[in-house]
Amino acid sequence: MKVDIQKKVKIIQKSMESIRRSDTTLHTITFPRLAQELQIPMEELTSFFLNVEDIFLNEQKRVNRKIEKFLNEGIQNAKTASQAKELLESATLKLVDLLPEHSDLVFSASFYLPKCIEERARAKKYYKQTFRRIIKKGWPGKVDSVLDRQTDLVLLSVYGFYEYCARVSKKEGKAIHKDFTNMINLHLQDRLFF
């Protein structure tokens, strides 16, 4: 089992390197061509993935699953407002840590490959609901309409942050993280917002 996982990871990494080198649209890359590029039998590729879309979906879901687990556990454990505030900060830092080197390619794929678009839409809905719960708990006393508007702003900010981090090194992602969370905090504390 462990060997299988290692093999799968290796295939993913090699595939991403090959796709990056080819500099072509992802949907035009076929499995036989990829197997040839990677110099592995087709059967080995198909034992893990159905097609190129499946490789990207796997990568997209892997990061989403981990972040969602982190957020779900965090919400459950957050008993105070400050713990909820910390959760938002630590979740975005966790995102920086989790994003693999090829996350720019996965980001691109999530805008076109149908299953990846679907996953993106599902995840966005989840994040919206979850951020709303965190904001409500971490910055209590907001009326529903304010909560909704601020949730939208936090959501779009996090997606902008995700796009940025997907394209830069972890070091650069972490460098902006503190400023990013400070800004979100400032926004959520803003009593004059309305």
Partner 1 sequence: MKKSTNNLKDKVVNRAVNSLRRNKRIEQISFAAIAKELNVSIDEITSFYSSTEDIFLEAQKKDWESLHRYWDKYIKQSSTPGDYKNAFEIFFERFVDTLSMDADLRLELSCYLPKCVKYRERNRKRVKQKFNKLIKKGWPGKDVKVLDRQTELVTVLFYGFIDHIVHIPKIERTRILRDFRNMLNLHLQDRKFF
Q: Which residues bind partner 1 (CB under 8 A)?
A: 23-28, 107-109, 111-112, 114, 117, 149-150, 152-153, 155-164, 176, 179-180, 182-183, 186-187, 190, 193
Q: How far is residue 174's CA from residue 42's CA, in Å, rounded to a whole number?
A: 39
Q: How far is residue 103's CA from residue 63's CA, in Å, rounded to a whole number?
A: 10
Question: How far from 170 is each of 81, 98, 174, CA to CA, in Å?
Answer: 29, 9, 6
Closer by beta carbon to partner 1, 49 or else 180: 180
- Least spacing, CB of residue 89 vs partner 1, in Å: 15
Question: How far from 129 is each of 43, 93, 138, CA to CA, in Å?
Answer: 41, 19, 14
Evaluate whether 42 touches 31 at the Cβ level (below 8 Å): yes
- Least spacing, CB of residue 116 vs partner 1, in Å: 10
State the angle between helix axes of 114-138 and 81-98 in degrees (0 to 180), rounded to the nearest 10: 150
Closer by beta carbon to partner 1, 41 or else 114: 114
- Least spacing, CB of residue 46 vs partner 1, in Å: 22
Q: How far is residue 149's CA from residue 155's CA, in Å, rounded to a whole number?
A: 10
Of the candidates 123, 11, 124, the one whose C-alpha atom is nearest the C-alpha of residue 62 is: 123
Closer by beta carbon to partner 1, 25 or else 39: 25
Q: Tell me 25's DSSP state.
A: -
- Least spacing, CB of residue 14 vs partner 1, in Å: 20
Closer by beta carbon to partner 1, 10 or else 167: 167
Closer by beta carbon to partner 1, 40 or else 176: 176
- Least spacing, CB of residue 163 vs partner 1, in Å: 5
Q: How far is residue 71's CA from residue 87's CA, in Å, rounded to a whole number?
A: 7
- Least spacing, CB of residue 52 vs partner 1, in Å: 13
Closer by beta carbon to partner 1, 26 or else 40: 26
Q: How far is residue 82's CA from residue 22's CA, in Å, rounded to a whole number?
A: 47
